[in-house]
Structure 1
Amino acid sequence: MSESTEALVAMVFDGPEAALPDMLDARERRAACQRELLADARDDESLLCITLSIPGPHKTSPVLEHVFDVLAAQAEAALDGAAVRVRRALGGVSGPELLMLVALPARETKRRVVQVEQTHPLGRLADLDVLGRTGDTLFSVQRTELGLPPRRCLICDGEAKACARSRAHTVYEMQETIAQMIEQGGYI
């Protein structure tokens, strides 16, 4: 590996390290916020939760914050003018997060924003979860419900969840691929 590649990876992931307790706290905080927002949601609203899919302990940095802002703006543009009644930003060492109550049914919200994941040069770094509520029951809309295949691995194009479970690639290999995607896309 070249020194320039190492320097690129170091620049993209130049941020605080998130330990497991940080990630668990962030997950609990996000889930509580999701429940609170969905409890207040109108019948025609869904909840869009935007995060980055970043492996390893470095979940935020100036570069990753910029990438997040670009992808969040793209996701909001994909809503095609649907009203956003509530917007709540979360974050910290676990990475940036944005939750939005959108005036669209959950499946329609997912159908619109999944295009960002599939077509934007950095879309594979976006984690665009859509939740809805039926009575007191919360649900998440999956890509497969829309007839789309599961997310693909950044490195080998296999199924992303299978690669993650088997730890098929090192964190550094994934960070290197992500850094190169960001650089090639002109986002640094």
Structure 2
Amino acid sequence: MNLELILQQLLLSREKRKEKQHNLIKTYGKGVISFMVNMPGAAKDTALSRQIHEIGMQLLDQFIAVNHIKVLYRSVENKVTGTEGYLVLDYPAKELKRRLIEKEDKHPIGRLFDFDVIDENYQILSRTMFNKSSRKCLICNEEAAICRRTQKHTYEQIIQKMEDMVLKNNL
């Protein structure tokens, strides 16, 4: 598969994801969790990414159970552009994002999770809204966006680090 086709698929997938998020907010009048794996490169649907997504969904399910939160909608969709999880909970979006940031920061592979929370006003709630720093690089601990933009690390280095994180934590 050529790079241009992959890029088109990723862009279309992003549009469809946004459309689904908006439809869920319209339907339920609540914020939405949109969960994907922070996966580098063009190959987004791999055994590793599915394993990480499953671990993240288990974390979400535990959070919901422990806090006795009513689930209004839940789906997981395996796509060539990566596994997508969607949840609508009877829970305030801002508090949800705050708690999910804590989960990302404390879980041994939480850095690999991408829990987006979109509130009922269609606003994506960011880490910086909660006085949290941007994500750090898996390898060198600099700002991830800078390393990604400059391609400081190879795809192979990043995948190896992700595999090591999962194995190290027996996940």
Alignment TM-score, normalising by the size of structure 2:
0.89
- Give the secondary structure class of the aligned counterpart of 1:152: coil
- Residue 74 of structure 2 is aligned to residue 87 of structure 1: yes
- Residues 1:49 and 2:17 aligned together: no
Alignment of 1:118 with 2:105, yes or no, is yes
> How large is the RMSD of aligned CA atoms in angstroms?
1.7
Contact 1:47–1:102 under 8 Å retained in 2: yes
Superposition map of 1:171-186 within 5 A: 171-186=155-170
Do the aligned partners of 1:46 and 1:105 also contact (CA within 8 Å) in 2?
yes
> Could you tell me how far 1:146 is from its partner in structure 2?
1.2
What's 2:62 paired with? 77
The aligned counterpart of 1:27 is: 14
Name the structure where helix makes up a greater proportion of residues: 2
Give the structure with higher Rg (CA). 1
Q: Distance in 1 between matches of 2:90 and 2:21?
A: 16
Per-residue deviation, 1:41: 2.5
TM-score, normalization by structure 1: 0.82
**Alpha-carbon distance between aligned partners in 2 of 1:168 and 1:143, rounded to the nearest angstrom:** 23
Structure 2: tracts of 5 or more residues without a match = none
Q: How does 1:85-164 map to 2 (within 5 A)?
A: 85-134=72-121, 138-164=122-148
Q: Deviations over 1:27-76 (max 9, x none)?
A: 1221110111111122xx21011100010122122332122111111023
Matched, 1:59 2:44: yes
| Deviation of the 1:84 alpha carbon | 1.4
CA distance in 1, matches of 2:15, 2:158: 26
Q: Is the 8 A contact 2:39 2:49 kept in 1?
A: no
Report the 3-state secondary structure (helix = DSSP H, G, I; strand = E; otherwise coil) of the residue aligned with 1:110.
helix
| Percent identity of equivalent pairs | 27
Structure 2 CA distance for aligned equivalents of residues 77 and 147 of structure 1: 25
